[in-house]
Amino acid sequence: MSRWFGVAAAIAAMLVTAGGASAQSIYPTKAVHLLVPYAAGGAVDVLARTLGDVVSKQWGQSVIVENRPGAGGVVASQALVASAPDGYTLMVVASGHPTNPFLYPKLPYDTFKDFTPVTLLASSPNILLVRADSPYKTLADVIAAAKAKPGSLSFGHAGIGTSQHLAGTLFKSMAKVDIEPIPYKGGALAINDLLGGQIPLSFNNGPEAVGQLQAGTVRALAVTTATRASFLPDVPSIAETVPGYDTEVWWGLLGPRGMASDLVEKISHDFVAALNTDDVKQRLAKLGATPIGSTPQVFDAKIHADYDKWGPIIQAAGIKAD
């Protein structure tokens, strides 16, 4: 009897293993929905569509990008949480994902328990912009003007709690200046008012700013990463004037919780492969973004690290979403 049970157990284990391998090898067998928590045309949307085009060719199945804007990503996140953990609904998130718990105290999900990290896709510095004819030629000029007349300057940003807002908040804190943050419903609108002279400064991410920089309508005073950006080698980092300053905007791929580990590994592998294609590299370079392509574990660690970094800063500044 014991011998029979041993044989049966071995056969069962083989079947489970074979079934798991089969599930991984045949995925996907239908269209995959890729949720984007922001409106069409923004950085997240462009990244999602760029990768979706390449991955759909790899898979031989459509990747349908669905824009679900609202509440800083909460609307799309809630939709992802409600989906089946079968890999057919995924979401591209931005670096605001781990800060939302501090901005929205009653989230309808758990930021860590209800999601499966798949891969960290790409990153970009935020950029401090002025109009081309601005009297501020350097970051030191801005700091001097802000200290001479506290509260007289303002900066535009893409919305409360966005990476651009937090970049400006961190700058205010570390440079010890009083500059008023002005929220907009998207970074492009902030640039419009910068060009119109309604605001003197604006923090924007690379994909939002690169077109205006190339057109010569705006100037970059500094980038927010610790070192200079490869696509703006002549633009200093804020850290060169404010030592220790360092922040960025990043984008990553999430699934709902409960996804099988082999399925997560396959999806991660396929998106990393897409990021390493020449077409995607060239497209991201034009947008001022750097492809990354990490393991699920590295992305999970990044989410936790940003939660720990930004929580105290948001709370000290008293930032709350509308």
CA distance 89 to 125: 28
CA distance 289 to 250: 9
Q: Where are the domains of the chain?
A: 28-124+249-317, 126-240
Read off the pLDDT of each residue in 261-266 and give the average, rounded to a whole number: 98
Read off the pLDDT of each residue in 17-30 and give the average, rounded to a whole number: 66
Percent residues over pLDDT 90 in the chain: 78
Question: What would the pLDDT profile of 33-68 be if each residue is shown by its tens digit?
Answer: 999 998 887 788 889 999 999 999 999 999 999 999
Let me know if the fold of 28-124+249-317 is the same as that of 126-240: yes
User: pTM here?
Assistant: 0.84
Question: What would the pLDDT profile of 214-240 be if each residue is shown by its tens digit?
Answer: 999 999 999 999 999 989 999 999 999
CA distance 233 to 75: 37
- Nearest C-alpha neighbor of 94 from the set 174, 159, 154, 33: 159
Residue 22: Cβ within 10 Å count: 10
Asked, as a colleague might, if the bond just before 200 is cis with ω within 30 of 0, I would say: no
Q: How high is the mean pLDDT of the chain?
A: 91
Superfamily of domain 28-124+249-317: Bordetella uptake gene, domain 1 (3.40.190.150)
Contacts of residue 262, Cβ cutoff 8 Å, sequence gap at least 6: 20, 21, 23, 24
Question: What would the pLDDT profile of 176-219 be if each residue is shown by its tens digit?
Answer: 999 999 999 888 899 999 999 999 999 998 888 988 999 999 99
Predicted confidence (pLDDT) at residue 2 exceeds the cutoff of 90: no
Q: Among 36-45, 86-95, 159-168, 301-310, where is mean pLDDT lowest? A: 36-45
Question: What would the pLDDT profile of 91-104 be if each residue is shown by its tens digit?
Answer: 999 999 999 999 99
pLDDT at 12: 45
pLDDT at 24: 57
Superfamily of domain 126-240: Periplasmic binding protein-like II (3.40.190.10)
